[in-house]
């Protein structure tokens, strides 16, 4: 029997739990969650409900249940050093140590690493701890991106043209960020289409999973505030309709060089997921940021397609034997749409913002994969919190039918819910293709 500890309580961890349980090995899954996800709980032998900063309690739970290895889902426990803590107790993890998780938790660490090791993909960038020098730095740039140098749950990036318009407003945004964070990263803005490349890494070998496109904006047509991600799709040929094969290869090549650089820089092997958020520009692929974990929602696109035993992959990541594995995915398309409360993602002073929990009902949804996120199962039914509630994933031979499966299932979820009906549709995909053609000058 292999005893696995999963840390995390979202839809990403629900799909990880499902993928662990699909293993041909005899698996006992133990879960540590900060709130009770009924999907994960139903797959677990035992659940510990605690905060992700409570390393002692998590460590005790892992020791009591003689855990063989842990899988860390979200960034918070990585940032809290749970991997280091478990390592000291003799329990290895799929997930980097606190120091290596800087790949996600410190944008400056990653930008400086690429620069030092001469790895392509960086924009012009600088980190500032005061407003001094920002005006001069941004003056020659066509467009500017500002972000805190720290964790922001995918919602901290402010882009000129989207979130603010002028250079003066860029400086105002920097000022706001510096009120809450010790430093602000200011970068050149790229024009292009984004893709997520989630790579498995044992410290030496890096293996890409199929690319996925996420949709950060809250409303149809890519309007409204940034969210953690409203939905995502992947394609049966393991590319994306606006990508060239060379684009994915470029993202993977950058990630391989980064894995090598991390080892050279720290003397430590990175074991876990390196999820590169890339953008294809007129001049090639550029790096927006790395995350030190699977994407949410992107994990729901790729893990259900995994043909290779995930537990074997986890052990290879830990043992450093990924190079001996042939990791395969089904040639299917996937469309994931997140069901969210109506007020999700809106600023607190917005008239539709609402943080009360509402009841939802899930009727018959047999042809679709459902992954629970921020829902609470009470005696009288299922309640949403104020965050993303359920990931609905359609899987089929092509994108069109995967989208229809996902959309068709959403009518079976009743309550004050919202979602983005445009994700995965021909209309939106064609817009992406057209945009990329214009960028490439075709
Ligand atoms: N899909 C965005 C994230 O996982 O951070």
Which region holds residue 261: left if phi is over 0, alpha if psi is between -120 and 50, else beta?
A: alpha
Helix (H, G, I), strand (E, B) or coil at 136: helix
Q: Are 410 and 339 a contacting pair, CB within 8 Å?
A: yes
Measured in angstroms, how far is the CA atom of residue 214 from the centroid of ligand 1? 8
Q: Could you give the C-alpha distances from 389 to 37, 377, 416, 422, in angstroms and in order?
A: 10, 12, 11, 18
In which order are the strands placed within the sheet that holds 93-94?
A: 46-49, 27-33, 2-7, 69-72, 93-94
Q: pLDDT at position 357, please?
A: 78
Phi, psi of 14 (to 5 degrees): -60, -45
> From the alpha carbon of 297, which atom of ligand 1 is closest?
1
Name the token pair of 126: 């600088």
Measured in angstroms, how far is the CA atom of residue 300 from the centroid of ligand 1? 11
Name the token pair of 318: 């830990």
Our mutation pick for probing the ligand 1 site, out of 11, 150, 196, counting the most ligand atoms within 8 A of Cβ, is 196
Measured in angstroms, how far is the CA atom of residue 227 from the centroid of ligand 1? 9
Rounded CA separation 228/231 (Å) = 9
Q: How confident is the model at residue 285 (pLDDT cuts 50, 70, 90)?
A: very high
Residues touching ligand 1 (Cβ under 6 Å) are 154, 214, 229, 291, 295-296, 298
Measured in angstroms, how far is the CA atom of residue 276 from the centroid of ligand 1? 10
- Domains in the chain (CATH in brackets) are 2-94 (3.40.50.20), 124-188 (3.30.1490.20), 195-324 (3.30.470.20), 333-423 (3.90.600.10)
> Which of 207, 10, 2, 12 lies closest to 91 in space, CA to CA?
2
Rounded CA separation 63/93 (Å) = 14
Predicted confidence (pLDDT) per residue in 122-169, tens digit: 999 999 999 999 999 999 999 999 999 878 766 678 899 988 999 999
Q: Which residue has the tokens 């984004």?
A: 194
Our mutation pick for probing the ligand 1 site, out of 194, 211, 296, counting the most ligand atoms within 8 A of Cβ, is 296
- Which residues in 83-164 belong to E strands, given as ranges? 93-94, 125-128, 144-148, 158-159
Measured in angstroms, how far is the CA atom of residue 296 from the centroid of ligand 1? 5
Q: pLDDT at position 405, please?
A: 96
Phi, psi of 3 (to 5 degrees): -105, 115
Predicted confidence (pLDDT) per residue in 317-376, tens digit: 999 999 999 999 999 999 999 999 999 988 888 877 776 778 999 987 788 999 999 998
> From the alpha carbon of 291, which atom of ligand 1 is closest?
5
Measured in angstroms, how far is the CA atom of residue 283 from the centroid of ligand 1? 25
Our mutation pick for probing the ligand 1 site, out of 154, 218, 303, 340, counting the most ligand atoms within 8 A of Cβ, is 154
Please give the distance of CA 217 from its chain centroid, rounded to a whole number. 15
Measured in angstroms, how far is the CA atom of residue 228 from the centroid of ligand 1? 6
> From the alpha carbon of 232, which atom of ligand 1 is closest?
1
Measured in angstroms, how far is the CA atom of residue 63 from the centroid of ligand 1? 31
> From the alpha carbon of 298, which atom of ligand 1 is closest?
1
Residues of the chain with pLDDT > 90, as a percent, come to 87
Minimal-distance CA residue to ligand 1 atom 3: 295
Mean pLDDT across the chain: 95
Predicted confidence (pLDDT) per residue in 1-56, tens digit: 999 999 999 999 999 999 999 999 999 999 999 988 999 999 999 999 999 999 99
Helix (H, G, I), strand (E, B) or coil at 185: strand
Q: Convert 392-421 into a string of H (helix), E (strand) and C (coil).
A: EEEEECCHHHHHHHHHHHHCCEECCEECCC
Predicted confidence (pLDDT) per residue in 228-250, tens digit: 999 999 999 999 999 999 999 99
């Amino acid at each position: 029997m292999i005893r696995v500890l999963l840390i995390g309580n979202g839809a990403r961890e629900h799909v990880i739990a499902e993928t662990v349980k699909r293993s041909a090995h005899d698996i006992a899954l133990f879960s540590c969650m900060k709130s009770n996800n009924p999907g994960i709980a139903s797959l677990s032998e035992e659940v510990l409900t605690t905060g992700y900063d409570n390393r002692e309690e998590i460590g005790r739970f892992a020791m009591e249940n003689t855990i063989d290895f842990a899988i860390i889902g979200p960034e918070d426990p990585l940032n809290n050093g749970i991997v280091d803590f478990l390592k000291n107790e003799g329990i290895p993890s799929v997930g980097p140590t606190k120091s290596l998780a800087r790949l996600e938790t410190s944008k400056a660490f990653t930008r400086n690493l690429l620069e030092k090791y001469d790895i392509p993909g960086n924009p012009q960038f600088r980190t500032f701890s005061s407003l001094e020098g920002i005006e001069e730095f941004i003056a020659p740039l066509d467009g500017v991106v500002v972000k805190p140098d720290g964790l922001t749950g995918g919602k901290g990036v402010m882009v000129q043209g989207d979130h603010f318009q002028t250079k003066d407003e860029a400086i105002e945004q920097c000022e706001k960020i510096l009120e809450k964070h010790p430093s602000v990263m200011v970068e050149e803005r790229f024009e292009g289409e984004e893709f997520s490349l989630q790579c498995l890494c044992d410290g030496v070998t890096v293996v890409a999973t199929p690319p996925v496109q996420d949709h950060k904006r809250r409303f149809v047509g890519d309007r409204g505030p940034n969210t953690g991600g409203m939905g995502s799709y992947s394609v049966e040929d393991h590319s994306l309709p606006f990508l060239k094969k060379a684009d994915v290869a470029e993202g993977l090549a950058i990630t391989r060089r980064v894995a090598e650089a991390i080892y050279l820089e720290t003397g430590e092997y990175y074991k876990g997921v390196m999820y590169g958020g890339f953008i294809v520009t007129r001049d090639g692929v550029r790096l927006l940021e790395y995350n030190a974990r699977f994407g949410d929602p992107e994990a729901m696109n790729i893990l259900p397609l995994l043909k290779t035993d995930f537990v074997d992959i986890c052990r290879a990541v830990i043992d450093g034997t990924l190079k001996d594995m042939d990791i395969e995915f089904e040639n299917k398309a996937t469309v994931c749409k997140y069901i969210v409360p109506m007020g999700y993602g809106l600023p607190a002073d917005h008239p539709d913002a609402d943080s009360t929990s509402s009841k939802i009902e899930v009727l018959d949804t047999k042809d679709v994969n459902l992954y629970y996120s921020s829902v609470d199962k009470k005696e009288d039914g299922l309640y949403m919190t104020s965050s993303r509630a359920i990931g609905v994933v359609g899987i089929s031979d092509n994108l069109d039918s995967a989208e229809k499966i996902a959309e068709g299932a959403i009518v079976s979820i009743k309550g004050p819910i919202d979602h983005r009906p445009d994700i995965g549709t021909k209309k939106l995909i064609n817009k992406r293709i057209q945009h990329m053609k214009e960028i490439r000058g075709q």
